[in-house]
C-alpha cells in the first residue's frame, strides 16, 4: 500500500464522492475496526480530526487506517491512493466465509454467470 503525493486530495475525493462528512467517514472507519476486532479506536470526533489532517496532507494514515479505508470504500489494498483506480473497471470480488463442523468434507463449485456454458462449468 504505497501512498502517492496526492493522497490527501484522493482521500477527500473518495469521501466526498459518497457524500459523507468527515464525521460519517469516521463512524464508518470505526465500524470496520470494531468488526475486525479492534477495540482500541478513538472516538468519532478524534478520528474526524485525523481525517481532516490526512486529507490536508499534514500526515498520512497508518497501515491500520489504510486497511480500514480499503474496507470502508471497497477498494483493494493494492489500489489505495491510486488516482487511476476506477471501481467500475475493477473485477468484482466476492469473499465467502463458511464455518463447518470439524471433520466435515465439503466441496464447493463456484461459477460466474458471465462464463459461457461448457464442460467445466457444469452446464
3-state secondary structure of 63: helix
Provide the domain count of the chain: 1
Q: What pLDDT is recorded for position 90?
A: 65
Q: Structural domain of residue 75, as residue ranges?
A: 7-79
Q: Residue 116: inside a domain, yes or no?
A: no
Q: Does residue 99 form part of some domain? A: no
CA–CA separation, 32 and 29 (whole Å): 5
41 domain residue, yes or no:
yes
Per-residue model confidence as pLDDT tens digits over 59-118:
999 999 999 999 999 888 988 998 887 766 666 566 566 667 776 666 666 665 554 555
- Residues across the chain: 123
The reply to whether 17 falls in a domain is yes
50-75 per-position pLDDT tens digit: 999 999 998 999 999 999 999 999 88
What are the cell numbers at 116?
Answer: 459461457
Q: What is the mean pLDDT of residues 13-21?
A: 93
Residue 50: which of 74, 31, 26, 78 has the closest Cα?
A: 26
- Evaluate whether residue 1 is within a structural domain: no
Is 110 part of any domain? no
- The answer to whether residue 108 is domain-embedded is no
DSSP codes joined into one string, 40-58: -PPPHHHHHHHHHHHHHTS
Confidence of residue 2 (pLDDT cuts 50, 70, 90): very low
Write the CATH number for 44.
1.10.260
Residue 55 forms part of a structural domain:
yes
Amino acid at each position: 500500500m504505497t501512498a502517492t503525493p496526492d493522497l490527501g486530495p484522493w482521500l477527500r475525493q473518495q469521501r466526498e464522492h459518497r457524500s459523507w462528512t468527515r464525521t460519517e467517514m469516521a463512524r464508518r472507519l470505526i465500524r470496520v475496526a470494531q468488526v475486525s476486532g479492534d477495540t482500541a479506536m478513538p472516538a468519532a470526533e478524534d478520528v474526524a480530526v485525523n481525517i481532516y489532517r490526512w486529507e490536508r496532507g499534514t500526515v498520512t494514515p497508518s497501515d491500520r487506517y489504510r486497511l480500514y479505508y480499503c474496507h470502508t470504500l471497497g477498494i483493494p489494498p493494492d489500489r489505495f491512493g491510486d488516482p487511476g483506480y476506477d471501481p467500475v473497471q475493477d473485477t468484482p470480488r466476492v469473499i465467502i466465509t463458511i464455518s463447518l463442523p470439524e471433520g466435515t468434507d465439503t466441496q464447493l463449485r463456484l461459477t460466474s454467470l458471465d462464463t459461457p456454458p461448457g464442460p467445466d462449468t457444469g452446464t
